[in-house]
Amino acid sequence: MRISTGQRLRSQVDATELMVVRTVPEEIDLRCGGAPLIDAGEAPAADPELMPVPDAPAPQLGKRYTDPAGTLELLVIKAGTGVLAVGGDALVIRSAKPLPASD
C-alpha cells in the first residue's frame, strides 16, 4: 500500500484509526492486528480475524508510533487492541526528544 502524509487509515479487525504524520515514498506493508490497514473510507474485508502478538502493546490514543528506522510516523486518533506492524516488525512508541540542558 502507498500512503501519504495526512491520510487517515483504519484497522479491519478493531477500532484503531490512525493519521499518517510522516511516510516513506515506496510501497509499505502496514498492518494492525495482522490484517492490512485500509483507508478510513473503505469497508473492511468480510470476517477479518484479530491475530494477537505476544509481548506487544496495543495502540494508545494520542501516541505516535514509528518503525525502528524512524522513517514512518503514525498518530493514533482512535485506540484499539491490534498491534501495529510494518513488514512483520511491530511499531514502537516514538519517544520525545530530550530538551537541551540549561544552566
Q: What is the pLDDT of residue 55?
A: 64
With beta carbons less than 8 A apart as the criterion, state whether 1 and 10 touch: no
Spatial separation of the C-alpha atoms in residues 90 and 95, rounded to whole Å: 15
Q: Which residue has the cell 510522516?
A: 22
Q: Which residue has the cell 473503505?
A: 42
Spatial separation of the C-alpha atoms in residues 80 and 92, rounded to whole Å: 15
Each of the 103 residues of the chain gets a pLDDT tens digit; together they read 889 999 999 998 888 999 999 998 889 999 988 888 999 888 877 776 666 665 677 889 999 999 888 889 999 999 988 899 988 888 989 887 788 887 6
Q: Which of 62, 80, 50 is nearest to 21 (CA)?
A: 62
What pTM, to 2 d.p., does this model score? Answer: 0.83
